[in-house]
Amino acid sequence: MNEHRHETHPEIVKRLKRAEGHLRSVIAMIEDGRPCLDITQQLHAVEKAITNAKRTLIQDHLDHCLEDTIGGIDRHQRLALDGLKAIAKYL
């Protein structure tokens, strides 16, 4: 399998490691009997970090991998692709 890397991958790894740290914190908080509000706030941080990592990865794929695969396309197809990129931000 060929190595597959993009400029955004180090930032994605950084975000996921941050999420990993938050998740460990959440587990410890639950085990320590911390208040639900505190736990929920940490869980929200985990979700946000993972969501941002996923969004960045998807956008990077659309911007680079998909573009490289399809090559030059006409204006109508370009508009459809741009629409896909825009809607993918909501994933």
| Residue-range definition of the domain harbouring residue 67 | 9-88
Q: Does a structural domain hold residue 18?
A: yes
- Domain of 22, CATH number, reads 1.20.58.1000
Q: Is residue 4 part of a domain?
A: no
Residue 53 lies in a domain: yes
Residue 1 forms part of a structural domain:
no
Alpha helices in the chain (DSSP H): 9-31, 36-60, 67-70, 75-88
**Predicted TM-score of the model (pTM):** 0.72
Collect all residues with Cβ–Cβ distance below 8 Å to 19 and sequence separation of at least 6.
45, 46, 49, 50, 53
Residue 30, domain member (yes or no): yes
| HSE, side-chain direction, 13 A CA sphere, residue 15 | 18
Give the pLDDT means over successive 10-residue stretches in the chain (91 positions): 79 92 94 96 92 88 74 78 81 71
Instruction: State residue 50's pLDDT score.
Output: 93
Are 41 and 75 in contact by the 8 Å Cβ rule? The answer is no
Count of domains for the chain:
1
pLDDT at residue 2, as a whole number: 67
